[in-house]
Amino acid sequence: GESVGLHLPTLSVQEGDNSIINCAYSNSASDYFIWYKQESGKGPQFIIDIRSNMDKRQGQRVTVLLNKTVKHLSLQIAATQPGDSAVYFCAETSHNNDMRFGAGTRLTVKP
């Protein structure tokens, strides 16, 4: 399943499928990007980050892709599990150290 971030804030996928959550950013000077996961009733939790000198970074079951040309960031979750259900935020920061969060995408995993 795939979302377009700000335009489709809800993404529903079947357990075991791969998920893609998208994020568009506007500040071309941003050079550090983070994906956070926020479960219900909890604070955001760091998932993975990427610097602007990279276009891909992999973690455990997660991959972040950065396309600076179109100012687009995506989070791919492999073999999505029920525990992945949460709201996912992208965040960007630039030289003025002002970290800005995207609107968030709610991921729902169906068993």
Partner 1 sequence: DTAVSQTPKYLVTQMGNDKSIKCEQNLGHDTMYWYKQDSKKFLKIMFSYNNKELIINETVPNRFSPKSPDKAHLNLHINSLELGDSAVYFCASSQVGSGRIYHEQFFGPGTRLTVL
**Which residues make up the interface to partner 1 (CB under 8 A)?**
32, 34, 36, 38, 41-46, 49, 51, 87, 89, 93, 95, 97-101, 103-104
- From edge to edge, which strands make up the β-sheet containing 62-67? 19-24, 72-77, 62-67, 56-58
The token duo for 32 is 């550090």
Closest separation in Å from C-beta 16 to partner 1: 26
The two beta strands, 19-24 and 72-77, are: antiparallel
Nearest-approach distance from CB 93 to partner 1, in angstroms:
5
CB 66, min distance to partner 1, A:
15
